[in-house]
Structure 1
């Protein structure tokens, strides 16, 4: 079964969000769908997008699991963003959580070391 993921993040200020997500994700969007929507392809058939939708801003909650957790969190810190939360679960899984200017929660998770 093929699975595609297109996860959305509603924002109040598109320009501010665009700059913040470029810092978080380390690159400009993969493509700009419109004047109010930008898309980052995280992996094949797995995308994250921001869209100007002020009435819904601040309600997204997404966790992205990555193989390179430590280096990813370090690279994000080098771009000036620090996690607002860090967790390690009893099974060793770790998470680092970030909040964009609207309060949307984006977390990166990683398997035990």
Structure 2
């Protein structure tokens, strides 16, 4: 099986306004700046999330990351001043919490029962 590296992009209208929001959401400054208007975070071994200024595409991203302790993640994010827009529990017990950035992009964190 081939190794895969995943880069998931989130287009934003205003990079300077969005960068601090994503730093609070993800809990750190970016791992690197790809360009003057693109920031990149490593969120898993081979998984990266990047925020890039692309006003013509802003507000349409949908991204969900599964985390081992959803309650802890939500509490940490709340401690940095961001509250979820939506919290859901599916029939199988899986939970998902969704945040919306200033452009309306949706970034979710999910947790499985017992995880």
Q: Tell me the TM-score range normalised by the shorter chain.
A: over 0.9
TM-score (norm. length: structure 2): 0.96
Find the residue that maps to 2:68 and give its secondary structure. coil
User: What's 1:67 paired with?
Assistant: 68
User: What's 1:28 paired with?
Assistant: 29
User: What's 1:109 paired with?
Assistant: 110
Uncovered stretches (5+) of structure 1, i.e. residues with no partner: none
User: What's 2:11 paired with?
Assistant: 10
Matched, 1:46 2:47: yes
- In the alignment of these two chains, the number of paired residues is 113
Deviations 1:62-111 (A, max 9, x none): 01111021100000000000101000011110000000000000000001
User: What's 2:88 paired with?
Assistant: 87
**What is the alpha-carbon root mean square deviation over aligned residues?**
0.7
The Cα of 1:61 is off from its aligned counterpart by 0.3
Uncovered stretches (5+) of structure 2, i.e. residues with no partner: none
TM-score (norm. length: structure 1): 0.97
